[in-house]
Amino acid sequence: MAKLLGIDIGTTACKALLLDETGKVLRSATSEYPLHTPRPLWSEQNPEDWWQAVQECLSQINEPQPDAIGLTGQMHGAVFLDQQDEPVRPAILWNDQRTHEECEEIETTVGSQRVRTITGNPPLTGFQAPKILWLRNHELSRFQRVRTVLLPKDYIRLRLTGERFTDVADASGTGLFNLRERRWSLEMMAELELDPDLFPPSAESTQVVARTREGLPGLKAGIAVVAGAGDQAAAAIGTGAISPGVVSVSLGTSGVVFRAQETPRHDPEGRLHAFCHANGAWHTMGVMLSCGGAIKWYRDAFAQEYSYDELAALAQTAPPGGNGLTFLPYLSGERTPHNDPQARAAFAGATLAHGPADFARAVFESASFGLRDCLDLIAREEPVTEVRLTGGGARSPFWRQMLADVFQTRCWTLSSDEGPAYGAALLAGVGIGIWPTVHEATQSAVKLNEATEPSGVDYAQFISRFRHLYRALKPWMSDA
């Protein structure tokens, strides 16, 4: 039986999974690394920490000769490498908000409408392109040393194989990729005066683009490595979201509502992203920057002694609506639906009567209401009849029930809910011919597990209170 290895460079940890060719998980490993916030709304990681974590995972997996490897990871980040492939500074991540002015520079230089027509999206602060301009505008001597810019998982590919490559799904999130033609936009690079040689060639996600190099600890040389995909496209492969009828919701640091598309179509208002999918087609998605991340932040800041299950149990003791307490989860600005890097988090409505359970519940509800904002936009084209949940948060029965009620929609879990690493391993399997297509890989490996039905709890008034609070606080946020 063939063995497939999926490696995910997440925001909090690296995760590796070994599957057999039926899609069964044989082994899994995780290794965490820190996230640095040197200034408010900055978000950075050290690429060497990713590589150390990959090596730790490989030694836990202890399989020196898998048949193929699929890579995935947090999207949009910029790893700036010099002539010797050494990072010139820490990587700037997807949830970093320092590039507001550079997004305006792209709008002005390329033209607001043209950027959207070429890339399918407005230039957003989290995307890679404005980060490169930021480096040029603010750290010129470092910029002058840069010879290659890579996305996070592609840096790990370089360490594993010595080769520079990316895939069309992750490349779509740079803000420099032609959505319809599935290629780099050389015209945008020329207009922004960016050397095309900075960027790696792109390939479809299932294509074998490189082989592992000699001398790796824990892996033999010559193993096929497919192009892979950004974490959201890979997670969607793992949930079977490859046709518009299946909508998946990913509950990680970010929160994502994802729907595959057969043709490239973009949201004229830019609230939903439009990217290439890993199955040769396209997808749309709404992205919350702090979803599970808001719950983690709350726990780390106010409830360190609680496990996530204990925090959920505490929140469950408060009634829906948290006795009038509302939280906005915009801890790192927000993309969908506001595209507002200046958005901030806030608790509102607190009284002497509120206690820890109300606060905890308000945070879970805010993450759910933000996802509902994304879902409503996704449902504009075609109604959503059920969703598939993935990511760490999908393991919480309390949160699953809240989501089924907030969405007013049946929510499924999956039998192998291992997130993006699982989808990446399936892409590797397609790459070496275990399955002829991504469709057949998902047909054979993705199985629904448990359904959660709406219980009759009505969140409508709490959702409108949540939406109203953002509108009311927006002028204050812009001044803050």
**List of residues contacting ligand XUL (CB under 6 A):** 11, 74-76, 94, 126, 173, 230-232, 252, 254, 256, 287
Q: Which residues pair with 44 in a beta bridge?
A: 36, 92
Helix (H, G, I), strand (E, B) or coil at 54: helix
Residue 74 or 166 having the CB closest to ligand XUL:
74
* Distance separating alpha carbons of residues 439 and 442, to the nearest angstrom: 5
CA distances in angstroms from 36 to 39, 47, 157, listed in the order given = 9, 12, 23
Phi then psi for residue 180, to 5 deg, are -70, -40
20 is catalytic: no
Token pair 């029965």 is at which residue?
397
> Which residue, among 376, 408, 388, 401, has the nearest Cα to 286 in the 3D structure?
376
Take residue 189 and report the two structure tokens written for it: 């690079």
Min separation Cβ 43 and ligand XUL, Å: 10
Residue 11 or 368 having the CB closest to ligand XUL:
11
Phi then psi for residue 260, to 5 deg, are -70, 155
Contacts 24+ apart (CB under 8 A), 36-42: 36/90, 39/98, 41/96, 41/97, 41/98, 41/332, 41/333, 41/341, 42/92, 42/96, 42/97, 42/98
Min separation Cβ 257 and ligand XUL, Å: 11
Residue 192 or 257 having the CB closest to ligand XUL:
257
Residue 267 or 358 having the CB closest to ligand XUL:
267
Min separation Cβ 171 and ligand XUL, Å: 13
Residue 173 or 423 having the CB closest to ligand XUL:
173
Min separation Cβ 381 and ligand XUL, Å: 19
CB contact set of 352 (below 8 Å; sequence gap of 6+): none
Residue 419 or 429 having the CB closest to ligand XUL:
419
Q: Is the dihedral of CA 28, 160, 34, 148 positive or negative?
A: negative
164 close to 148: Cβ distance less than 8 angstroms: yes
From the list 96, 231, 267, 405, the catalytic residue is 231
Helix (H) or strand (E) holding 177: strand 177-178
Helix (H) or strand (E) holding 80: strand 79-81
118 close to 106: Cβ distance less than 8 angstroms: no
Min separation Cβ 106 and ligand XUL, Å: 17
Min separation Cβ 223 and ligand XUL, Å: 25
Residue 94 or 134 having the CB closest to ligand XUL:
94
Min separation Cβ 421 and ligand XUL, Å: 12
Q: Which residues are the active-site residues?
A: 231
